[in-house]
Amino acid sequence: MEKNLKFFIKELGLECKAGEELLNRVPKGAYVSDLLSDVIGKAQEDMIWITTQAHRNIIAVASLKELSAIIVVNDRKVDDDVLESADSEGVVVLSTKEAAFETAGKLYCILYDIDT
């Protein structure tokens, strides 16, 4: 079974904030960083980006890098104008109450079929 974003949302208890029509995307890894320049330099196409950032520039970076989705952690609020930008740019924004460390660990286990 292909693990698309719908699968990850269910398994990780994520909330979809933008890009609901794009949840059939199949991620090919993940990247964790809060530095936009780091993500631009190192993240690869189709990865999920895990970050605490919740401002408009994350949408531009995710679009530029053609990422599968952004997971905003720590229950950070993402403003409506950012979510509108995400919808118009074709960027999936997910959110969780969990910290980046826990989110990345769980995501890693699912991506690489590791039982926890």
Is 22 within the bounds of a domain? yes
Specify which residues 51 forms β-bridges with. Answer: 72
The backbone torsions φ and ψ at residue 48, rounded to the nearest 5 degrees and listed phi first, read -95, 135
104-76-14 Cα angle (round to 5): 50
pTM of the model: 0.97
The two tokens of residue 57 are 């520039």
User: In this predicted structure, what is the pLDDT of residue 115?
Assistant: 86
Is 116 within the bounds of a domain? no
- Whether 46 and 69 have beta carbons less than 8 Å apart is answered as no
Is 38 within the bounds of a domain? yes
Tens of pLDDT along 8-43?
A: 999 999 999 999 999 999 999 999 999 999 999 999
Average pLDDT score over residue span 92-113: 97
Report the Cα–Cα distance between both ends of the chain, in Å, rounded: 19
Alpha carbon 14 to chain centroid, angstroms: 10
Q: Name the amino acid, one letter, at 10.
A: K
Average pLDDT score over residue span 100-113: 96
What CATH number is given to the structural domain containing 15? 3.40.1390.20
Is 12 within the bounds of a domain? yes
- Whether 68 and 2 have beta carbons less than 8 Å apart is answered as no
User: In this predicted structure, what is the pLDDT of residue 110?
Assistant: 95
* Domain around 26: 5-111
Total domain count for the chain? 1
